[in-house]
Amino acid sequence: MTDKLVILPGDGIGPEIVAEAAKVVGWLKDNADFDIEIEHDLIGGQAYDEYGEPLADSTLEKCRSAKAILMGSVGGPKWDGVEYNKRPEAGLLRIRKELNLFANLRPALVFDALVDASSLKPEIVKGLDILIVRELTGGVYFGEPRGIEDLGNGERRGYNTQVYTTSEIKRIGAVAFDLARKRSNKVTSCEKCNVMESGMLWREDITALHASAYDDVSLEHMLADNCAMQLLRNPSQFDVIVTDNLFGDILSDEAAMLTGSLGMLPSASLSEPGQPGLYEPVHGSAPDIAGQNKANPLATILSLSMALRYSFERGDLADMVEAAVKDVLDSGKRTGDIMSEGCTEVSCSEMGEAVCSALESVQAEKAA
Ligand code: NAD
């Protein structure tokens, strides 16, 4: 059976950026022995308009039978008034939950050509290559009880529950250790064990997992607030950072900013081995530039590259796509968001075409 990729463009700039990643898929199919079936469907506001749901059951079924799903982004002012459980973002939460996407991988990679885009000094971020592994389906965002209650005296009380079990902690820990083995073999595990029992359990369980199955990987524990500081002070000390849903949300956004541009940041959300993975740029639907052919498609193209590496097991093709992106940046082509003096501004579609042309050269160099 042929492997399947489901493409869900979504809202705002989603269709524009995903179209460029689809060009890269087309190039790989035509030129690089990459035989996959592609299906398209809707998610987010577009799906709400068409199906009355931000993620239809039929779309979900298509995704379940795929190796990977490539998504653009969801949301926009058009759907601001839609009821809470039908808003575009609810489609994203549903797909993560239904596909049991418990591991969110967010690389923070600084391309040499973009080193000046970071707000940190070039010598601090040059060559930076960090991978944040965030637990995505547990913790305070899902814990019960939760709610807002009326205390009857003019006061209200809002509450959420931070909760993790040993199996949830070990499952995400194993993902981080396995990935570290393919990188620089170091994991930093972050929690707040000084003030939270769930953090104490997290530290104990990661320590036990390390001792039982991963003692060849270097493990360091760090309080999440210290990690936030160290990311700015000396980010190169990190290889893989593993952390819970809440701290991961914040630390991965902080690490993202070390690279300077939202338009460059890919992500992967993975389940158990063999199950479909979801690949999407970190940024949103950018309604302010939607429909103008101005968006940077590289975060989506790099998300596709993660799909090649983690779901299709084609690390060779992922390396080619990443080399092509590097070559395009080295040649000075930039979309507006990463534009700098002396470079050439290109549109979203021109950037996608430039990556496909660069793939020709990367392949020729490989063959030589
Ligand atoms: P955003 O990421 O869409 O945009 C923030 C800023 O970055 C904007 O100025 C935008 O033009 C720019 N930007 C983002 N991606 C870009 C790209 N590829 N190329 C060039 N510039 C880019 O965040 P926002 O404005 O806070 O949110 C807009 C909508 O997106 C909201 O409805 C929000 O809920 C949704 N959103 C969706 C996701 C997702 O689908 N995973 C993530 C975040 C926000």
CA 58/CA 351 separation, integer angstroms: 33
Q: Which residue has the higher pLDDT, 86 or 117?
A: 86
The residue written with tokens 């601001």 in the block is 80
So where are the chain's domains? 1-102+272-368, 129-257
Strands 240-243 and 218-223, sheet pairing: unpaired
Residue whose CB lies within 8 A of the most ligand 1 atoms, among 70, 79, 259, 262, for a mutation test: 262
The residue written with tokens 């194993």 in the block is 174
Inform me whether the pLDDT recorded for 6 exceeds 80. yes
The residue written with tokens 């029992």 in the block is 197
pLDDT score recorded for residue 259: 85
Lowest-confidence range among 7-11, 121-125, 214-218, 221-225? 121-125
Alpha carbon of 262 to ligand 1 centroid (Å): 8
Nearest to 55 by CA among 69, 34, 37, 36: 69
Alpha carbon of 41 to ligand 1 centroid (Å): 21
260 pLDDT band, cuts 50/70/90, is confident
Work out the mean pLDDT of the chain and round it to a whole number.
96
Average pLDDT estimate for 318-347 = 96
The closest residue, in CA terms, to atom 44 on ligand 1 is: 284
Average pLDDT estimate for 79-100 = 94
Task: From residue 86, give the alpha-carbon distance in Å to each of 125, 310, 321.
Answer: 40, 31, 36
pTM, to two decimals: 0.92
CA 135/CA 243 separation, integer angstroms: 6
From the CB of 71, is ligand 1 less than 6 Å away?
A: no
CA 70/CA 68 separation, integer angstroms: 7
From the CB of 75, is ligand 1 less than 6 Å away?
A: yes
Average pLDDT estimate for 213-218 = 98
Residue whose CB lies within 8 A of the most ligand 1 atoms, among 43, 285, 301, for a mutation test: 285
Which residues have a Cβ under 8 Å from the Cβ of 268 and sit 6 or more positions away? 104, 105, 277, 278, 279, 303, 306, 307, 310
pLDDT score recorded for residue 1: 63
Classified as helix, coil or strand, 130 is: strand
End-to-end CA distance of the chain: 33
- Cα 157 versus chain centre, distance: 34
From the CB of 286, is ligand 1 less than 6 Å away?
A: yes
Architecture of the domain delimited by 1-102+272-368:
3-Layer(aba) Sandwich (3.40)
Alpha carbon of 286 to ligand 1 centroid (Å): 4
pLDDT score recorded for residue 261: 80
CA 107/CA 86 separation, integer angstroms: 30
pLDDT score recorded for residue 118: 87
- Total residues found in the chain within this entry: 368
- Name all contacts of 111-114 with Cβ < 8 Å and 24+ positions apart: 111/264, 111/325, 111/326, 111/329, 112/326, 112/330, 113/326, 113/329, 113/330, 113/332, 114/259, 114/260, 114/261, 114/264, 114/329, 114/338
CA 17/CA 352 separation, integer angstroms: 8
From the CB of 284, is ligand 1 less than 6 Å away?
A: yes
Inform me whether the pLDDT recorded for 283 exceeds 80. yes
Alpha carbon of 11 to ligand 1 centroid (Å): 10
Handedness of CA 39, 44, 49, 52 (dihedral sign): positive
How is residue 183 written in tokens?
A: 């990188």
DSSP 186-217: EEEEEE-TTT-HHHHHHHHHHHHHHHHH-TTS
Q: What is the pLDDT of residues 262-279, one digit of tens each?
A: 899 999 999 998 999 999
Q: What is the pLDDT of residues 175-210, one digit of tens each?
A: 999 999 989 999 999 999 999 999 999 999 999 999
Active site residues per annotation: 141, 192, 225, 249, 253
Residue 6, Ramachandran bin (φ over 0: left; ψ between -120 and 50: alpha; else beta): beta
CATH code of domain 129-257: 3.40.718.10
